[in-house]
Amino acid sequence: MVQDLALTTQAKINLILDVVNRRVDGYHEVEMIMQSIDLADELYFTKIEEGIILETDSTKIPTGPQNLVYKAANLLFNKYNLAGGIKVKISKTIPVAAGLAGGSTNAAATLIAINKLWELNLTVHELRSLGAELGADVPFCIKGGTVLATGIGTELEPLKVTPRLDLVLVNPPFSVSTAEIYQSLDLETAIKHPNLDEMIQALKEEKKLDIIFAMDNLLTHVTMNRYEELKKLENLILEQGAKKVLMSGSGPTMLGFTMNKAAAEKLEARLRAKLPKEYVVKRTKTTSQGIIIK
C-alpha cells in the first residue's frame, strides 16, 4: 500500500460569475463558468500512526482545525473510521484569501489523496458530494477544467473546450469578505447581468477575443464601490496593455487578459515596475486539469 503522495493543486478563476437568485436559506443561486489556471500549490501527504498534522511554509494560513485541509481529512477519517493518521505539508504559491479557491483546491486534493492512500475507491461523484460539505468551490476543484456551475455552485457540467488564455493576476495586499459582498448585492438594482449564452458560444467557436470580451462578473461593481483601490488597479492594468480586466470572485484579485504569452510577459513586467512590492503579480494561463498527482 502506498504510504505517501504528492499533488499539485491548481487555482480557479471565474470567466463568468452571475447571481440569479437569493434563496430563503441565505444561499445564492449562481451561474458561473469556472476555469482552472496553472498557478498551483504543492501538497505532500504521508501516512502516520495517528492524528492530523499540517505543516506549511506560509504564515498566512492556519495549521489547525480551521484549515480546509484539516477539515477534509477529519471528514474522511470520521466518516469511514480510518485507522492511522496523516501529515500534510503545504507549499503555498496561490495567494491566500484572493478569490482563487486556494483553500478549496487543497481540500479537494486532501480528499483525493486520502481516497488513494487508504484505497477507499470513492468515485468522482462521491468525492464531489463530500467536497460540497466543505465548501461550494471544492466539488469543482476535484476535477477542474472548464465547467458550467449552477445552483449554489455545486451543480457542475463540464464544457468540452478549455480556452487557451494568457493572463496576469494582481493580488492586492488586503482581503475582501465574500460574505459581506454577497450581502451587499442588490439583485433588484443589478443593471446588467453577464451574458452566459454569449460566453458559451464563444467557447464553442474557440474565438479568443470573443471569449475575452464576454467575460463578466456581477460582483465587480459591489466590490469596487467598497474598495476604490480596485477601480484604480483595473485602470492601471488596462493602461499597461491588458485587453480586458476581470475581478476574480468577490475580489480582491484582478485578472488582466492578453492575446498571447509574449503580451502577458510584457504586462507582468510593466505591472511589477508600477506597483508596490506588497502586490502579488503573476503571469499564468488556463489549464484543463485541476489537480495533478505527481
| 207 and 122 in a common domain | no
Terminal CA-CA length for the chain: 17
Per-residue confidence (pLDDT) for residue 176, from 0 to 100: 85
Structural domain that includes position 232 = 166-285
Angle at 148 between CA 255 and CA 258, to 5 degrees: 25
- Is position 6 annotated in a ligand binding site? no
| 75 and 50 in a common domain | yes
State the Cα–Cα distance between residues 37 and 45, nearest whole angstrom. Answer: 23
- Is position 95 annotated in a ligand binding site? yes
| 73 and 49 in a common domain | yes
Report the amino acid identity of residue 100: L
- Is position 97 annotated in a ligand binding site? yes
Q: What is the DSSP letter of 286?
A: B
- Is position 98 annotated in a ligand binding site? yes
What is the CATH number for 219? 3.30.70.890
| 19 and 120 in a common domain | yes
- The residues carrying an active-site annotation are 12, 137
Q: Specify the pairing of strand 4-22 against strand 28-48.
A: antiparallel
Per-residue confidence (pLDDT) for residue 124, from 0 to 100: 97
Please state the domain count of the chain: 2
Write down the pTM of the prediction: 0.94
- Is position 104 annotated in a ligand binding site? yes
Per-residue confidence (pLDDT) for residue 294, from 0 to 100: 86
pLDDT in tens, 28-46: 889 999 999 999 999 999 9
What is the CATH number for 13? 3.30.230.10
What sign does the CA torsion over 5, 74, 66, 100 have?
positive
| 120 and 180 in a common domain | no
| 46 and 63 in a common domain | yes
- Is position 62 annotated in a ligand binding site? no
| 140 and 27 in a common domain | yes
Per-residue confidence (pLDDT) for residue 25, from 0 to 100: 79
Per-residue confidence (pLDDT) for residue 27, from 0 to 100: 77
pLDDT in tens, 135-185: 989 999 999 999 999 998 889 999 988 999 999 999 999 988 888 888 888
Task: Calculate the alpha carbon distances from 116 to 3, 91, 154, 289 in Å.
Answer: 10, 20, 23, 18
Per-residue confidence (pLDDT) for residue 179, from 0 to 100: 81
* pLDDT-flagged residues of the chain (< 70): 190-191
